[in-house]
Each structure stands twice: as structure tokens, then as C-alpha cells.
Amino acid sequence: MSVVSVRLAGLPDLPAVAALFDAYRQFYEQPADAALALQFIGERMRNRESVILVAQAMQQVTGAEGSLVGFCQLYPSFCSVIAQPICTLYDLYVAPQARKTGAGRALMLAAHAHAQANGFARLDLSTAKTNHAAQALYESLGWVRDDVFLVYNKTA
């Protein structure tokens, strides 16, 4: 499989996207929880609180659609400083067997195209300091690492 197409996810994709989301959470050292993944992604889809793009394997010879091999989730937000809408690319995941096929790059390009087409001034993302493969992808696509601001979190 070396051909990947990217499209918006719909409710029929929910089980496959939830399985990818569960694997994504495990990548970030969270326990497997298929029910939680299905609930969380289902709520985002049904409430239209995020945009989910999916990468789908395509058969090279026939062009037939294959399984979903990756996803990207975007959350609309705002930046008060520039007083414009922005988009946060919060989740990006490609299944291990589909890595190095261009699926991640295709998802990132589709996310950028979505942001441009929908009037977002900017896309933001964060990643683990140790995720060098992802950082290389982002930088190859023109993303610029922020060396000015620090990010803080506090549990509510």
C-alpha cells in the first residue's frame, strides 16, 4: 500500500476512527479503553465539536478503498492577540503498518487546506519533545517551532 487518500470522517467511520484514537492514546501511554475512545470520538462527531480527517489506504491497481490507516483531529478556537479564529491540530496518528507511506504528510496537508478553506488564520499544535519523527514531518511542511512561549497545564 503506497497510495493514501484523505477525506473528512463521517459517522459511518466512527468504529474505525475510535480504534485509531484508542491506539493514539496508547502511544501517549494511556491505558487501552475502546469504550472511552468510541464515546469520546462519537461525541465530537455528533456534536460537531471537531473536524476529523481520515487517511484511507487505496489499492494501487484497482483504486478500491481499503481500511482507515490514520486520522487527524482539529478543534476550532480563537487567538485573542490576532483577534482571529485559529485551529488546533490536537491529534495526529498513523497506524504503525502505514507509517512511511505518506499518510501523515497527507493528513497534515489536508488539515492545512481545511484551515485555509474555512477562514482560520493559523494552525497550532504541540507534540512530545521526544517525538522527533513528528517534529521532522512538521518542519518539512513549513511549521515553525515556538521558542518564545512556554506551555503550562493544570488539572481542574
Domain boundaries, the chain: 3-140
**Dihedral sign computed on CA atoms, order 48, 49, 51, 56:** negative
Separate counts of helices (H) and strands (E) for the chain: 4, 5
Quote the pLDDT of residue 1: 43
Quote the pLDDT of residue 60: 65
Q: Are 86 and 78 in contact (CB under 8 A)?
A: yes
Q: Would the pTM count as exceeding 0.85?
A: yes
Residue numbers of the chain with a pLDDT score lower than 50: 1
Quote the pLDDT of residue 65: 72
Among the listed residues 95, 87, 38, the one whose alpha carbon sits nearest the alpha carbon of residue 66: 95
What would be the CATH architecture of the domain defined by 3-140?
Answer: 3-Layer(aba) Sandwich (3.40)
Count other Cβ atoms within 10 Å, centred on residue 6.
Answer: 21
What percent of the chain shows pLDDT beyond 70?
95
